Amino acid sequence: MSKKESRSELYKEAGVDIDLAQSLLKKVKQKIGETRRPEMLAPIGGFGGLFQLDLSKYDKPIIVSSIDGVGTKLMIAAMMNKYDSIGFDIVNHCIDDIAVQGAEPLYFLDYIGIGKLRSPLYEDILSGIADACKEQNCAILGGETAEMPGMYGDDLDLVGVINGVVEKDKLITGEKIKPGHIAISLGSSGLHTNGYSLARKVLFEKCNYDVNDKPESLQGDSIGEALLKPHICYWQAIKTALSSDISLDGIAHITGGGLYDNVPRVLPEGVSVEFDCSSVKVPPIFPLIVEGGNIDKEEAYRVFNMGLGMVWFVSENDKNKALDIIKEAGFDAQICGKVIAGDKEVFVA
């Protein structure tokens, strides 16, 4: 046995299989390659990804970046042994985080930390990432897979980094929001990527459900299926709105912290928002959690999105056009509140 082979076997015996990582990556390289944009200057695999922004398209381009993870939704994926949707979760969550500022997603990078690399988990995650990026014309510029048996055990972590661009004069900051503006909700598919620690405690510890149980209220879905519904990406609706004649003055992505913590992030001084969510379609997983855990309304709207995956703020004159744009993009849309004078507070009726 050569020194090279000996070292490889020793590392494998220690819990890290370099050859397996390369073998599994080859299975999804074609899908990853399908996300390529013309601005990419080199194939994936270099020490750094290269992306040349076409400055002829912009007068004053601003780069917008964000990083996030999937959180303990990964534990539901493990319980279901189903990993094909969490790639969509991380990509769509990251894109929504920069889309609220009007930024077009350009390229994405992923990090997978795992105790023991295995198939088809690895290919399923990367395939989901590739499919989600392709849907939004977002390139995969690179990534990192770290096999660390002494760190993660049987668990894994999934993190994404997104970079996008927006013309400076089209940057959505929320500074134009004023009393009289209308709040419009864009429907969620479920928990998206937040609130899973509380959801797991209620459903599996307090209510003693199994991931395969199918309560009648879930309309045919199992608990696990309802919890794994992918995070929705709303970029296409925002993109259409930006090219229309409506004034989209503010957008809030409703993630961890719900309405109470996310909406104030886009409000200027001197305004608050009153929400009436009675017309919002609430995915059935939420009542199951809220009633099962005896969770009060304020905490529910702070921990979960409760059916509001995103909120747009538009003028009274633009509300109907905004509703049409959202619905034509394939999302549920409802008027859910109004802006009033105040101190950046949120009230949920």
pLDDT in tens, the chain (349 residues): 444 554 558 888 888 888 888 888 888 999 999 999 999 998 777 889 999 999 999 999 999 999 999 999 999 999 999 999 999 999 999 999 999 999 999 999 999 999 999 999 999 999 999 999 999 999 999 999 999 998 998 899 999 999 999 999 999 999 999 999 999 999 999 999 999 999 999 999 999 999 999 999 999 999 999 999 999 999 999 999 999 999 999 999 999 999 999 999 999 999 999 999 999 999 999 999 999 999 999 999 999 999 999 999 999 999 999 999 999 999 999 999 999 999 999 999 9
Dist CA 93 CA 264 (whole Å):
19
Is residue 166 within 8 Å of residue 106, measured between CB atoms? Answer: no
Q: Determine the topology of domain 182-348 in CATH.
A: Phosphoribosyl-aminoimidazole Synthetase; Chain A, domain 2 (3.90.650)
E-only strand ranges, the chain: 61-69, 104-114, 139-147, 156-167, 182-187, 248-253, 271-275, 308-314, 333-341, 346-348
Angle at CA 124, nearest 5°, toward 123 and 127? 80
Q: Determine the topology of domain 3-170 in CATH.
A: 60s Ribosomal Protein L30; Chain: A; (3.30.1330)
Q: Is there a common fold for 3-170 and 182-348?
A: no
Please state the length of the chain.
349
Q: Quick one: which of 292, 314, 290 has its CA closest to 302?
A: 290
Other C-beta atoms closer than 10 Å to the C-beta of 9 total 11
234-291 pLDDT per residue, tens: 999 999 999 999 999 999 999 999 999 999 999 999 999 999 999 999 999 999 999 9
Global confidence as pTM: 0.94
Q: Which residues contact 16 (CB under 8 A, 6 or more apart)?
A: 147, 148, 149
Q: Which amino acid, residue 215?
A: P
Q: Three-state DSSP class for 325?
A: helix
- Domain extents for the chain? 3-170, 182-348
Dist CA 195 CA 170 (whole Å):
32
- Establish how many alpha carbons lie within 13 A of residue 323's alpha carbon, considering only the half-sphere containing its beta carbon: 13
Residue 72's pLDDT is what? 97
3-state helix, strand, coil in the chain (%, to 5): 40, 25, 35
The sheet with strand 182-187 has its strands ordered as 248-253, 308-314, 182-187, 333-341, 271-275, 346-348
